[in-house]
């Protein structure tokens, strides 16, 4: 679901980026209020899960690939505001370092995956959860919340794509940016997410949430912030390590995700032409484009990318946790 540069007009990019600013500011305030130092530190690990999930590409019907995001997972573990920040940082790292997702389109990607996804997912989760939930009900709530959250985000992205030809076309009627109208973009994005990617998101969310709840309940946010029993983050770190090593599996799925083609690929996808905005658009030279590193074999570079991304996220949020209140300190 990462929107590359030049698929959305600069105007669209700008509007969505501006819309994200108060959301980020508000989320930062709420995180400062609600989470203590250990929890903010853990946001880094949760962001690492999201980052890794986004590296596991799965083949989707239609020959494209897709991936889970994990935004709802973070929202249920640490609150939707923390999820917003975590996914935003992960997307930022992916855009700057790995060229996954555009730089100008950063605002749009954050809007879809760091705002719509976790907030909708969390709201649905709470709705299904109800009061005094059993273990099974919580699992169902997690799955449904994650599933709905991902699909609503996909729908929003599809709408962002689909309105481009309507709003931004040249004199000859050719689209300047994304050439596919709503009638194409919505089914193309939503059907694979409804059928496959949403299921993966739901399953991953339930599995990881239950795992963390069992081994490290200490760092999760709960309605009653009374005594928490001690827990260890070592198993969580081990899970992250396993996922890192397994990331090359994401290379097995061939084909580019819908809406993530390069300018060279788009003509063959059925549009028949390369939109002018894409041909002459903004280019960003990422350090490790598409998670490759020069002459190193793809799998090795993929794992190194995963390691670097995870480490960067953990370090970034640990540094941010210095600004949070220490565990045991009263809030406000």
**Binding segment for another protein among 139-147, 164-172, 264-272, 312-320 (CB under 8 A)?**
312-320
- What DSSP character marks residue 329? P
Q: Is 325 helix (H, G, I), strand (E, B) or coil?
A: strand
- Per-residue binder mask for another protein (CB under 8 A), 143-162, x = binder: --------------------
With binding defined as CB under 8 A, does residue 169 bind another protein?
no
> From the CB of 142, what's the least distance to another protein, in Å?
27
Site for another protein in 24-53 (CB under 8 A): 37, 41
Which of positions 272-291 make contact with another protein (CB under 8 A)?
287-288
Please tell me the distance from the alpha carbon of residue 157 to that of residue 3, in angstroms, as a whole number. Answer: 8
Q: Tokens at residue 314, please? A: 């953990």
CA dihedral 176, 21, 219, 214 (to 10 degrees): -30
**Closest to 275 (Cα-Cα) out of 188, 189, 167, 186:** 167
Closer to another protein by Cβ: residue 32 or 194: 32
Listed ranges 153-161, 167-175, 202-210, 292-300: which one lies at the site for another protein (CB under 8 A) = 292-300
Piece in contact with another protein (CB under 8 A), picked from 131-139, 193-201, 276-284, 323-331? 323-331
CB count, 10 Å around CB of 308?
17
Residue 323 CA: distances (Å) to CA of 32, 41, 63, 80, 228:
8, 11, 46, 19, 22
> Which of residues 166 and 319 has its CB atom nearest to another protein in the complex?
319
Identify the residue among 295, 297, 299, 302 touching another protein (CB under 8 A): 295
What would the DSSP string read from start to end of 22-41?
HHHHHHHHHHHHH-BHHHHH
Q: Can you tell me which of 14, 169, 215, 308 binds another protein, judged by CB under 8 A?
A: 308
What distance in Å separates the CA atoms of residue 184 and residue 168, rounded to the nearest whole number?
17
196 lines the binding site for another protein (CB under 8 A): no
Cα–Cα separations (whole angstroms), residue 243 to 169, 248, 249, 258 = 43, 10, 10, 24
Give the one residue of 127, 167, 299, 311 binding another protein; rule: CB under 8 A. 311
* 171 vs 329, beta carbon nearer another protein: 329
Shortest distance, position 316 Cβ to another protein, whole Å: 10
- Cα-Cα-Cα-Cα dihedral of 55, 83, 212, 310, to 10°? 40
Nearer to another protein, 96 or 253 (CB): 96
Least Å from the CB of residue 42 to another protein = 12
d(CA 203, CA 182): 29
Binding site for another protein (CB under 8 A): 37, 41, 287-288, 293-296, 304, 307-308, 310-312, 314-315, 318-319, 321-322, 326, 328-330
């Amino acid at each position: 679901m990462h929107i590359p540069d030049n698929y959305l007009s600069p105007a669209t990019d700008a509007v969505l980026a501006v819309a994200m600013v108060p959301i980020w500011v508000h989320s930062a305030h709420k995180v400062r209020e609600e989470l203590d130092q250990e929890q903010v530190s853990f946001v880094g690990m949760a962001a690492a899960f999201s980052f890794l999930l986004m590296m596991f590409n799965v083949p989707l019907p239609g020959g494209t690939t897709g991936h889970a995001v994990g935004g709802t997972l973070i929202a249920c573990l640490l609150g939707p505001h923390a999820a917003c920040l975590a996914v935003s940082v992960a997307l930022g790292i992916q855009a700057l370092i790995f060229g996954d997702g555009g730089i100008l389109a950063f605002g749009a990607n954050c809007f879809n995956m760091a705002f719509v996804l976790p907030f909708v997912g969390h709201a649905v989760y709470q709705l299904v959860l109800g009061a005094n939930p059993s273990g099974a009900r919580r699992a169902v709530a997690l799955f449904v919340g994650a599933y709905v959250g991902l699909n609503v985000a996909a729908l929003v992205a599809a709408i962002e794509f689909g309105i481009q030809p309507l709003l931004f076309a040249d004199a000859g009627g050719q689209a300047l940016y994304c050439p596919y109208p709503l009638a194409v973009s919505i089914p193309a994005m939503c059907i694979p997410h409804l059928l496959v990617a949403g299921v993966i998101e739901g399953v991953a969310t339930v599995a990881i949430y239950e795992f963390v709840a069992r081994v490290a309940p200490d760092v999760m946010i709960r309605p009653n912030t009374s005594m928490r029993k001690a827990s260890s983050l070592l198993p969580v770190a081990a899970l992250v390590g396993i996922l890192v090593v397994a990331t090359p599996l994401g290379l097995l799925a061939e084909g580019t995700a819908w809406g993530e083609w390069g300018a060279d690929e788009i003509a063959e996808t059925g549009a028949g032409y390369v939109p002018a905005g894409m041909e002459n658009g903004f280019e960003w030279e990422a350090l490790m484009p598409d998670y490759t590193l020069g002459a190193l074999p793809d799998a090795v570079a993929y794992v190194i990318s995963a390691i670097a991304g995870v480490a960067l996220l953990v370090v970034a949020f640990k540094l941010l946790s210095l600004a949070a209140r220490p565990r045991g300190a009263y809030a406000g």
